[in-house]
Structure 1
């Protein structure tokens, strides 16, 4: 009998996450193995990971999906839990994850994610429950090769857990601006790679729709000023993404 059948590897990708990574790792110290793939941190990220017993591997940056597949390749146990540096596993979720690995009928499990925006946990705006597939059998799953917004591709059936994974996604306005530009740039590159194009009207029209969808249709107004700011962020991210895509298409031709 395989002794690793109910053991779990936690995988994390990092770059300059010194402010986040300690709390993240401390929330998963119960795991049998922690694997970190770092893409050239210049802060104390790698040192902190090593201090807390993680197995650290350093690689270049090919995009989110491919980097997570690298981390997955280093995992040595039957079950894998993927977590980001700005996420935390609560004791309640820990208990559910451990219990879920006893399942003989499921190959993976979705976890609800409760995200924080500038100090406030968000329960509308399309952000909650935000089920993400994070626990899965290594033999049954891999990540898509998307540069951003990667997902787990599972061969088999998946269940759902009820305790949320806490996500400290946007710490302050500076973090919002940085991530907006990062995701817009990566999104434009990904769309270009897939052969997408953009017209002059795409940026303003799609950005306006992103705001309306977030604030009105997904009830962002119930999140107060935070909901308005999330809708505004989605407007800006969408606008920049399509403007950059149009510029990239022009350069390519």
Structure 2
């Protein structure tokens, strides 16, 4: 059986990282890039690689990716971010799997890089992500952040890897931390979570201890220290923003 494969990518202003991703997708039958309003050359770059390109204003992480999956030509879809890359060994294994799929979805190990170094600490490794799916048998959840695919059947965990080049520099790391902490706070509020005045400090402190010492950030030099600090700051800000939202809502109710 020759099962065709689509790759679904959501992107915005990724001209510096998208080429590395697209160059690794030689094995796909279709690559669909859903752009949410790039101001750089992202769309032109996608077109130059022969990708199908759609424009969709940003719907949120889960809904945007679901939109991309729904608009692919094929039922088997590899879901990628523009800052990810598929090594040739992984591509070869995907082709073998699609010869006769035995599961409704497959997960991969993901190697994250920072300053072009593989970061093995701070909770970045091992990191498992579910990316190869039969779209007829699953869907994305509705989480605001840390969206994931919910498969309607058995999932196979593979020991092959995807490469992840998520943060360009420390400024990018801080910028994304602010975005994710805001979304996480909103989601926690919706789930009925609450934060005391001490909660941001206690969670931030624990996150640094866990990331830097228990998850061996200390072994990765300055990058390990900075990643641990950003993990701690992200946790601190998540609960600080949750507290802020609680106070705002109380004022609106009075």
Alignment TM-score, normalising by the size of structure 2: 0.93
* Structural mapping, 1:1-253, within 5 Å: 6-253=3-250
Could you tell me how far apart the structure 1 residues matched to 2:167 and 2:181 are? 15
8 Å CA contact retained: 1:66, 1:147 = no
Q: Deviations over 1:218-244 (max 9, x none)?
A: 222233332222111100111111111
**How far did 1:110 drift?**
0.9
Structure 1 residues without counterparts, runs of 5 or longer: none
Q: Using the TM superposition, give the Cα deviation of residue 200 of structure 1 relative to its aligned residue in structure 2, in angstroms.
A: 0.8
Q: How big is the alpha-carbon RMSD for the aligned residues of Structure 1 and Structure 2?
A: 1.6
Secondary structure of 1:18's aligned partner:
coil
Structure 2 unaligned residues grouped into runs of 5+: none
Tell me how far apart the structure 2 counterparts of residues 100 and 94 of structure 1 sit (CA, whole Å). Answer: 10
Choose 226-235 or 66-75, whichever is displaced more: 226-235
Give the length in aligned residue pairs: 250
Displacement after TM superposition at 1:131 (Å): 1.1
Stretches of 4+ aligned residues off by more than 6 angstroms? none
SS in 1 for 2:156: strand
CA–CA distance in 1 between the matches of 2:189 and 2:118?
A: 34
Following the alignment from structure 1 to structure 2, what is the Cα–Cα distance between the partners of residues 132 and 7? 21
Q: Structure 1 CA distance, aligned partners of 2:179 and 2:154? A: 33
Deviation string, structure 1 residues 25-82 (Cα, Å, up to 9, x no partner): 1111321111121111111111211221212121222211111111111012121101
CA contact (8 A) 1:66 1:146 kept: no
3-state SS of paired residue (1:182): helix
